[in-house]
Structure 1
């Protein structure tokens, strides 16, 4: 069911525009449900509202209703800031134009979205009250933005808007992006090493493990799941050489010692580094660990918020391993969920989680912002493999890295 799909695999669609342009009504029309509160009073939507929906053939998507970008006052500034955060993690943006037509507000919104490199669609809403002139439509299209005339009130143009969203979706949402399926063949055996410790969720596996297992099954491979203490016995008793071993990063050093060198080995987090980000850049970012100095601050980026546990991977283990590896007196700061600091310049390195709860657009945007500020970025699995001395082996299964996988 679409409401069970992980947040990180959904296409995120933001509706942005001025107050009272009909954004909430349009989301209701798109989803066929009363998702957002509708009122003639400007500013009814105060906080972003998310609605999950199945938009075929894309699959699960999330529509985000946002506060008007012409809001006023101190509270209005906070609402607009929340809207911009939604835009930062969106894959497609629909600029909703109301009865007043395209004004400087809409032009500013379009410019903001263009700056984020997000595909834009302009929807002239309320066509039941006012039909935009051919000159207005031509002016928008001349700037390269598809525009449609719709009415949330009577439903005209809504199906066309859905199709425009499908057409604007990034290629990865229209073409299947594999996690591990391109590294194995039908009938291959793959061993997945899954530690069960205090950090493991009770009664279930963590999302990266679940998604990798599903991708292996979709590839008609045979997935054998074991704990790290059982890996030697399982390999000895399989009677065949596995095509790949995938391990949790926290036990990569011990697993690497137990898995013969001629068997390809990687980690769940490294697979996600490639799936959600840019593996080559994240591997390159790990080199910055060698350049850390006393007093440097390292940002630990977590895509989800969770209760801290003893020996937490991002808050305890990685800081300890990095400090031991470098021998430096370092500071570590954790930013969780969708929070990401504006003052990135004060950090010397970003170590990001596997981003299973982010879509690829948001992860790539975070990486691009770090690169723009001259800040190296890597991820949990890559960083752990680096300081454990097994990074070359962990990235060797990925042919696209070429000479980097040495």
Structure 2
């Protein structure tokens, strides 16, 4: 199960106040000492993750967090990190120490969680001790389903079943989303990506190949310089061509009439995020001025090369296109600003390392301030003149393109 990417696992985050027993509960679910346990408050300082197969429910990523009531300068940083973990959760397991009595902080935390619309269940922990009056009141007040549990003598199978039964159902959405049917021919143009580990394809390429094969489509993989030769050998044109964004202008002239064209990154934008929102984000490009600050957000943490796509190529291409002196800032991995009003534009990677929930939370943050967001594939295709050809398979994206101001449409 360790070969399943974290972005493909349901994320279960254990949260609560210090010494509520979060680590003990997570260890009970994991069936091993994944997180350090001690009687001292504040033992867990940084998020602790454990990938596992939750019996009868599938692959999950368990995440233990620091107490949401941590104090001091360092404690505040721990709380901030824990709150970022909550934004990535598919399910939050909120734990209350039943022996400690009613805590207003628990109620305040649960109110915020409910407002986030993230599924949440409760554990009234330390059932081996006498429960204090009103200890379950925060769960009742915010209509959180909960059970009592003890890490000393509790029913671990019952705990696992309770958590698993409350996991959100698997999404029916897929990367290709019904674009191909049995017998359709799809050509995937895959230049060698210097940013990928040697001998590996990048994730969207792997997923597209697997999904096409699962649907009994005919898959042909080639480099861009081989595309014309491959097409000439076919008895019928392919239904779809998917290319790497950086090769799109080398591929476009060879696309037969009636064949759909898109890019792996645009497929990721549609699958993980909201393609129409990202196309709409292009409207800000003609409005960029000298000194505007742009955030480039990379969900992965690869070592940057001399011609890195996010840190070198995209800033150069955008500056050349706009003829403006732009400022660029960068975020990596799970780091993403809590507020983005200071940015004129956010350029996001394909999000193959993020869950759908995490990417949608980033879109929610940008929507709160009206900050436009595009992803690499949408922006690169726009800058290279491949719009709207690469979004023609997607009616919602074409609608967004047609509604762009005249200055943004070439």
Q: Same fold (TM over 0.5)?
A: yes
Contact 2:102 2:137 in 1 (8 A): no
Q: How many residues align?
A: 401
Task: Look up the SS of the partner of 2:15 in the other structure.
Answer: strand
Farther off after superposition, 362-371 or 320-329: 320-329
Deviation at 1:312, TM superposition (A): 1.2
Cα distance between partner residues in 2 of 1:152 and 1:238: 63
Farther off after superposition, 122-131 or 354-363: 122-131
Matches within 5 A, 1:336-351: 336-351=332-347
Query: What's 1:7 paired with?
Result: 6
Query: What's 1:380 paired with?
Result: 376
Query: What's 2:195 paired with?
Result: 199
Deviation at 1:177, TM superposition (A): 2.3
Matches within 5 A, 1:177-192: 177-192=173-188
Deviation at 1:400, TM superposition (A): 4.5
Deviations 1:366-394 (A, max 9, x none): 11111111210010001111112222111
Of the three residues 199, 223, 229, the one matched with 1:233 is 229
Deviations 1:179-213 (A, max 9, x none): 11511001211111111153343111111211221
Cα distance between partner residues in 1 of 2:138 and 2:45: 31
Task: Look up the SS of the partner of 2:178 in the other structure.
Answer: helix
Query: What's 1:162 paired with?
Result: 160
Query: What's 1:54 paired with?
Result: 53
Cα distance between partner residues in 2 of 1:299 and 1:348: 8
Query: What's 2:80 paired with?
Result: 81
Return the TM-score normalized by structure 2.
0.92
Task: Look up the SS of the partner of 2:183 in the other structure.
Answer: coil
Query: What's 2:250 paired with?
Result: 254
Deviation at 1:136, TM superposition (A): 5.6
Task: Look up the SS of the partner of 2:330 in the other structure.
Answer: strand
Deviation at 1:219, TM superposition (A): 1.6
Q: Do the aligned partners of residues 101 and 216 (structure 1) sit closer, same or farther apart at CA in structure 2, a change above 3 Å counting?
A: farther
Cα distance between partner residues in 2 of 1:79 and 1:197: 36
Query: What's 2:116 paired with?
Result: 116
Contact 1:191 1:245 in 2 (8 A): yes
Of the three residues 282, 294, 317, the one matched with 2:290 is 294
Query: What's 1:214 paired with?
Result: 210
Tell me how large the CA RMSD over aligned residues is.
2.0
Asked if residue 39 in structure 1 is aligned to residue 38 in structure 2, the reply is: yes
Deviation at 1:53, TM superposition (A): 1.4
Cα distance between partner residues in 2 of 1:189 and 1:58: 34
Task: Look up the SS of the partner of 2:186 in the other structure.
Answer: strand
Contact 2:24 2:151 in 1 (8 A): yes
Structure 2: 5+ residue stretches without partners: 403-410
Query: What's 1:353 paired with?
Result: 349
Deviation at 1:8, TM superposition (A): 1.3
Q: Do the aligned partners of residues 384 and 83 (structure 1) sit closer, same or farther apart at CA in structure 2, a change above 3 Å counting?
A: same
Query: What's 2:21 paired with?
Result: 22
Task: Look up the SS of the partner of 1:354 in the other structure.
Answer: coil
Structure 1: 5+ residue stretches without partners: none
Q: Do the aligned partners of residues 71 and 211 (structure 1) sit closer, same or farther apart at CA in structure 2, a change above 3 Å counting?
A: same
Deviations 1:231-287 (A, max 9, x none): 111111122221111001011111112212421000000111011111111111122
Cα distance between partner residues in 2 of 1:114 and 1:292: 38
Deviations 1:37-69 (A, max 9, x none): 111122211211001111255421111111112
Query: What's 2:106 paired with?
Result: 106
Deviation at 1:93, TM superposition (A): 0.8
Q: Do the aligned partners of residues 138 and 225 (structure 1) sit closer, same or farther apart at CA in structure 2, a change above 3 Å counting?
A: same
Contact 1:95 1:109 in 2 (8 A): no
Decide which structure has greater helix share.
1
Asked if residue 328 in structure 1 is aligned to residue 324 in structure 2, the reply is: yes
Cα distance between partner residues in 1 of 2:71 and 2:364: 31
Matches within 5 A, 1:273-288: 273-288=269-284
Deviations 1:78-98 (A, max 9, x none): 222221121122121111011
Deviation at 1:140, TM superposition (A): 2.5
Query: What's 1:140 paired with?
Result: 139
Matches within 5 A, 1:62-81: 62-81=61-80
Deviations 1:117-159 (A, max 9, x none): 31111111111223577x6657623522111112222232x44
Cα distance between partner residues in 2 of 1:183 and 1:218: 13
